[in-house]
Structure 1
């Protein structure tokens, strides 16, 4: 018990000596969040897209809004070229409907196929055609296809998208 009392009595003296040896560190302000957000705004790719670059902004059951313009029906996009596309439903997507890729140069590295509301299995004939054209195929629903196209196009990749309106279902 005596040892404990001695330790308790020595504790305040020990703490005072430690405070004298180690002066209180100067406080530093944290960086301003305003500064961090302004830096983010300078590198924000989503809102700083060049005027000549296609960007899907919205979609609905009937079509898409691209660079502020509403388009109804199916669309075919290659790089920054936007075309109306004839297929109205997934079963109408054939090698003939994608024949532009036989003459187009440079060949896109990937074709993003927007199947409408749901992902559809792509037939072997269409897969063979796309592979023979020198492209890879990604078949997803049209909402994700438009988003993926935006990302890859903003990265400067040579990308193509064939999109059915989101309202199309099998």
Structure 2
């Protein structure tokens, strides 16, 4: 008899577990969620000795608080002025430093200026012969990609034309 009385109670409790009553709990506010995200901003915590593109202009780039005019070549955390003034000036000779640099960067990010340009097949073959992969982007996205890969600790190089460069 006692088992028969417990069976309906057991069935009711199982139904409650399967179909719980909707709770009236509020979702966390978006304001709180965004404030937590802002506290976990890892991109601002970059070591001072690491290159970081902060701004681009029609004629140059701002890197670690210093404004540079003209084209730039970055290898790891080394920054140097680069001679090409337009995309058609980029040749295997202008990138010949990569035949001697060690360790070889895993990727060369080529900032083409304002617009992405098709890369000459001879230039592509030269870059592959050094052991690097090539990514051609507009200079704005190229500088951002360089920042991200460099912050990850990857060995990366960037050859960037100013944003005002069109061909």
Q: Please give the range of the TM-score, normalised by the shorter of the 2 chains.
A: 0.7 to 0.9
SS of the residue 1:86 aligns to: coil
Deviations 1:99-132 (A, max 9, x none): 1100101111100000001111101110010000
Residue 149 (structure 1) aligned with residue 140 (structure 2) = no
Normalising by the residue count of structure 2, what TM-score does the alignment of the two structures yield? 0.79
Structure 2 Cα separation of the partners of residues 99 and 126 of structure 1: 11
- SS of the aligned residue for 1:137 comes to strand
The number of equivalent residue pairs is: 147
Compute the RMSD of aligned alpha carbons.
2.0
Q: Which runs of 4+ in 1 moved over 3 A?
A: 27-43
User: What's 1:107 paired with?
Assistant: 104
Give the structure-1-normalised TM-score. Answer: 0.78
Counterpart for residue 91 of structure 1: 88
User: Counterpart in 1 of 2:72?
Assistant: 75
Larger radius of gyration: 1
2:116 to 116, 119, 141: 119
- Residues 155 and 126 of structure 1, relative CA distance in 2, 3 Å threshold: same
Task: Show structure 2 runs of 5+ residues with no match.
Answer: 1-23
